[in-house]
């Protein structure tokens, strides 16, 4: 040890220099540091690399994760041939780099990328080829920008992530993220030897099963697969913002970005994201959709297998062909928007056209499907599957991934015939593309509603009356009938069909079909036996039927439905008329958002829009929409906040009055909450069944949603998290439309009235709904 000297350069260790426990070296840009640390509550010491500006010292790499130091007297040195040595207090070797090539004047340098490299000191501008050893070749649980994940096919080196055993123990845990190179290479997350999640194969733009991880303006993905190596890595466009992909001890692959404002990590994505991401949740030829129940459904041309062990769990043992293949008379059926099946039993060629791929698959009776290998430039290359097709998931309909699955000729003829019959009468409006809905005969609807009897009317809205109907098979329906005198209703009819036809979520009302006859325009919905939410919460006696657990269930369901509209639907959809009357309740009091006549959708990177024709319902509209005609997802968040406060209080925001002040419900709730008296808002119907902490937390969330500035309001994804956790919530700022004054006549019947906010906005008049 006497021959060693202390290090001098801040980011470099020179030959025969050492660093002791308590010393660190720091990258030139100060992003990363290398030194000794103890994770969590552990007293063991490890040599590692961490994010230097992170107060928590989040670790990106550990040298001796399998052999900890038990004393704080460890030493790291670089010997004269270029080998890094980690020694304990007895000079016993704990860990070393496996450098095979000797150097004349070696240095170890911590780069700005977080990579610890060993190279010749004379080579000031070293490339990767100049490194005789680098930590990037031996990842732990974290993948950094510019770091390869994959295999070197010549040397056999396999770079993969391995989870920590726990947050206190970096010993290799149960989970790995690596490439399966059997068939066409695919990225898989494994628990031991079993696959837990399959990101899928690379399709030229992204991994086929993870459309949410597609590259954007902030970073780009790189995938290389050739005779020498198979690897994936990502590069940041703005390298000044630290970023990491890491594998948690619980087996979740997370991608996060450093937030300089909060001095903490912001989670951008995680996988598996839902139950459908887990490997083979559904069996062969069955696709998984988290928004459906059951989640698993057979692909077109396939039927449920007779062995239904998982049916009670909403799962599937898989599907079988409705018609057996006969090989030489077969054809192919195109499927879009699916996660490509497991490619372990596949074959691929990069230099084959898609038409040649089809012919080659058709000639091979064992080939069950084919697809373009690369979809990034119109489709090129060939990917063919052999054996059953497994681990399929429904993705966005916008996905450009098309797969062609082998079918018997008679089955194809049957499917094509049925599609043609559907298209003869399924397009409700010829001006809208691809809106396929069952078309009900006018006579069927008339008979079901007893010729639109007034006794069958369930309610009335801006669109027109809603009737209850009963079909011949006994199924109950709700029929919305467009008022023939309403020019606005025509547009609302088109709007509702366009926005809800393809939406599938447990908290959205389901559109069953439509009917068009002469001037009649009808929409047919599933029937909701418990009417709408306002029927209960604003009535003292009926409100007793909804205890606090039921109301909290309804609040959570509405939140999840809005989250689907804002984030997970085909387009970002703004409802614009969320209110208690537009939340329907099924036979189990599950909430379903309805009435999409005023909805608008955003495409691409659109975040907001404005209009000169402000429509909606008094008491639920956000200030920026009323004053400036600006609407966005945050407009719906405001309406949701109003709804939460109404559900808790049993009072309407519109027309609310109190003997002690002139505040509306929002102002009243905020005032009580800020005085520590939020519990006084709770309506009598739920006082005996309420959990005080949960109710006051819901009030807090509601007030955060109705804050004046839309930027202060949380997104619906944040709302869902706040409602489901017990972490501390921020204090809400003053709500928008804090007071209402000078209201003309009865608020419930007035077609217009002046709105005053806490900032004395100019009054604005709205078209009533």
Tokens of 109: 């340098």
Cβ partners under 8 Å of residue 302, min gap 6: 285, 286, 319, 320, 321, 322
Cβ partners under 8 Å of residue 223, min gap 6: 202, 231, 232
Q: Which residues pair with 61 in a beta bridge?
A: 49
Query: Are the beta carbons of 690 and 684 closer than 8 angstroms?
Result: no
Q: Which residues pair with 257 in a beta bridge?
A: 243, 266
Tokens of 97: 């780099």
Between the CA of residue 249 and those of 41, 273, 544, 615, 764, what are the distances in Å?
16, 16, 46, 50, 55
Between the CA of residue 208 and those of 198, 374, 403, 404, what are the distances in Å?
9, 10, 11, 15
Active-site residue, from 577, 587, 660, 746: 577
Tell which residue, 332, 361, 341, 114, has the closest CA to residue 236. Answer: 114
Tokens of 327: 């090989």
**577 annotated active-site:** yes
Q: Strand ranges (DSSP E) for 264-361?
A: 264-271, 286-288, 296-298, 302-304, 319-321, 331-336, 346-349
Burial of 55: CB neighbours in 10 Å, binned 0-12, 13-18, 19+: exposed
Taking each helix axis from N to C terminus, what angle separates 633-649 and 692-705, rounded to the nearest 10 degrees? 150
Strand-pair category, 5-6 with 17-20: parallel
Q: What is d(CA 332, CA 343) in angstroms, rounded to the nearest whole number?
A: 19
Active site positions, annotated: 577
């Amino acid at each position: 040890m006497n021959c060693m000297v202390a290090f001098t350069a801040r980011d470099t260790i020179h030959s025969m220099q050492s660093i002791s426990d308590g010393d660190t070296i720091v990258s030139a840009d100060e992003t990363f540091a290398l030194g000794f640390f103890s994770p969590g509550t552990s007293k063991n010491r490890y040599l590692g690399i961490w994010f230097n500006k992170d107060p928590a010292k989040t670790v990106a790499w550990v040298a001796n994760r399998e052999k900890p130091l038990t004393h704080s007297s460890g030493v790291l040195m670089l010997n004269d041939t270029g080998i890094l040595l980690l020694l304990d207090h007895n000079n016993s070797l704990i860990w070393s780099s496996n450098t095979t090539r000797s150097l004349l004047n070696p240095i170890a340098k911590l780069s700005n990328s977080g990579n610890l490299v060993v190279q010749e000191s004379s080579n000031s501008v070293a490339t990767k080829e100049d490194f005789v050893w680098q930590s990037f070749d031996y990842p732990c649980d974290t993948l950094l920008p510019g770091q390869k994940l994959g295999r070197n096919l010549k040397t056999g080196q396999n770079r993969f992530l391995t989870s920590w055993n726990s947050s206190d123990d970096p010993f290799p845990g149960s989970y790995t993220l690596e490439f399966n190179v059997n068939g066409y290479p695919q990225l898989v997350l494994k628990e031991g030897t079993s696959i837990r999640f399959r990101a899928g194969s690379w399709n030229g733009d992204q991994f086929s099963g993870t459309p949410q991880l597609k590259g954007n303006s902030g970073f780009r993905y790189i995938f290389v697969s050739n005779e020498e190596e198979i690897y994936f890595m990502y590069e940041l466009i703005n390298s000044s913002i630290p970023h990491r992909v890491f594998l948690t001890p619980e087996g979740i692959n997370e991608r996060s970005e450093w937030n300089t404002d909060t001095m903490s990590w912001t989670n951008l994505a995680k996988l598996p994201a839902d139950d459908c991401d887990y490997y083979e949740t559904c069996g062969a030829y069955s696709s998984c959709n988290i928004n459906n129940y059951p989640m698993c459904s057979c692909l077109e041309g396939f039927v449920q297998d007779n062995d239904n062990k998982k049916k009670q769990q909403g799962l599937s043992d898989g599907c079988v062909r409705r018609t057996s293949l006969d090989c030489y008379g077969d054809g192919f059926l195109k499927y879009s928007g699916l996660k490509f099946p497991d490619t372990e039993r596949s074959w691929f060629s990069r230099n084959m056209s898609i038409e040649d791929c089809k012919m080659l698959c058709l000639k091979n009776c064992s080939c069950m499907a084919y697809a373009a290998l690369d979809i990034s430039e119109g489709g090129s290359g060939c990917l063919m599957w052999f054996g059953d097709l497994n681990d399929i998931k429904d993705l966005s309909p916008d996905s450009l991934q098309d797969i062609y699955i082998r079918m018997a000729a008679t089955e194809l003829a049957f499917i094509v015939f049925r599609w043609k019959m559907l298209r003869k009468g399924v397009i409700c409006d010829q001006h809208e593309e691809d809106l396929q809905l069952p078309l009900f005969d006018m006579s069927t609807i008339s008979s079901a509603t007893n010729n639109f009897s007034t006794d069958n009317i369930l309610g009335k809205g801006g669109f027109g009356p809603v009737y209850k109907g009963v079909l011949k098979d006994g199924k109950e329906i709700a029929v919305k009938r467009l008022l023939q005198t309403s020019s606005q209703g025509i547009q609302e009819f088109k709007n509702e069909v366009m926005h809800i036809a393809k939406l599938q979520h447990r908290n959205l009302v389901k559109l069953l079909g439509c009917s068009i006859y002469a001037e009649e325009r009808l929409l047919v919905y599933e029937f909701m036996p418990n009417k709408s939410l306002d029927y209960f919460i604003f009535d003292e006696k009926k409100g007793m039927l909804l205890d606090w657990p039921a109301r909290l269930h309804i609040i959570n369901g509405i939140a999840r439905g809005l989250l689907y509209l804002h984030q997970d639907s085909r387009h970002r959809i703004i409802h614009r008329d969320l209110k208690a009357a537009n939340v329907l309740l099924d036979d189990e009091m599950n909430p379903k958002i309805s009435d999409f006549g005023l909805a608008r959708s955003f495409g691409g990177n659109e975040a907001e829009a404005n209009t000169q024709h402000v429509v909606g319902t008094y008491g639920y509209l956000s200030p920026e929409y009323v004053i400036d005609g600006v609407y966005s997802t945050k407009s719906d968040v405001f309406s949701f906040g109003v709804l939460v406060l109404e559900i808790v209080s049993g009072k309407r925001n519109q027309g609310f009055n109190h003997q002690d002040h002139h505040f509306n419900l929002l102002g009243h709730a905020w005032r009580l909450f800020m005085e520590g008296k939020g519990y006084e808002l709770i309506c009598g119907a739920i006082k005996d069944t309420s959990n005080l902490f949960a109710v006051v937390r819901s009030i807090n969330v509601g007030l955060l949603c109705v804050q004046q500035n839309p930027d202060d309001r949380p997104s619906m994804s944040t709302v869902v998290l706040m409602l489901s956790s017990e972490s501390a919530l921020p204090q809400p700022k003053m709500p928008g439309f804090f007071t209402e004054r000078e209201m003309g006549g009865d608020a419930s019947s007035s077609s217009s009235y002046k709105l005053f906010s806490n900032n004395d906005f100019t009054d604005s008049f709205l078209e009533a709904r």
